[in-house]
């Protein structure tokens, strides 16, 4: 994958995670978000490079965008992760991750519970 360098990355990248639930007729939608702020002088937003991760809520417009993507995909996927940032007052989607290994489950116990519920519902095949 090739991505354009966006200087706005210094303000942080926002990752939103949505879990599906096979027991529901539509996707569950937005679950939680993580904002990743690179350390000064760095552009990479991975923990290994000194980033600071903030688990928390996100702008309602970003939730709406993520819910629209979730609804489009339905509950066929276990999860999705949408990465983006603010540019000129608009949220710019950089990636829609469907096979991403890092869901930041280590940052919040509730996130772990949501992951397990989603996984169990897929196995049970409601």
In a domain, 24, yes or no: yes
- Structural domain including 111 reads 9-124
- For 64-111, the pLDDT digits (tens) are 988 888 888 776 778 889 999 999 999 999 999 888 678 888 888 888
**Backbone phi, then psi, for 35, in 5-degree steps?**
-100, 130
Instruction: Report residue 87: phi and psi, to 5°.
Output: -140, 120
* 33 found inside a domain: yes
Q: Is residue 4 part of a domain?
A: no
Please tell me the predicted confidence (pLDDT) of residue 90.
93
Structural domain contains residue 115: yes
CB atoms < 10 A from the CB of 7, how many?
A: 8
Cα 126 from Cα 122, distance rounded (Å)? 8
pLDDT band at 22 (very low <50, low <70, confident <90, very high): low
Other C-beta atoms closer than 10 Å to the C-beta of 31 total 22
CB 100 within 8 A of CB 81: yes
């Amino acid at each position: 994958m090739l991505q354009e360098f966006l200087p706005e990355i210094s303000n942080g990248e926002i990752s939103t995670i949505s879990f599906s639930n096979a027991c529901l007729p539509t996707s569950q939608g937005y679950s939680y978000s993580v904002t990743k702020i690179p350390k000064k002088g760095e552009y990479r937003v991975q923990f290994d490079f000194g980033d600071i991760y903030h688990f928390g809520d996100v702008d309602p417009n970003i939730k709406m965008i993520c819910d629209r993507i979730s609804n489009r995909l339905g509950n066929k996927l276990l999860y999705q992760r949408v990465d983006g940032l603010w540019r000129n007052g608009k949220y710019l989607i950089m990636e829609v991750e469907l096979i991403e290994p890092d869901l930041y489950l280590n940052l919040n116990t509730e996130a772990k519970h949501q992951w397990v519920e989603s996984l169990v519902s897929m196995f049970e095949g409601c």
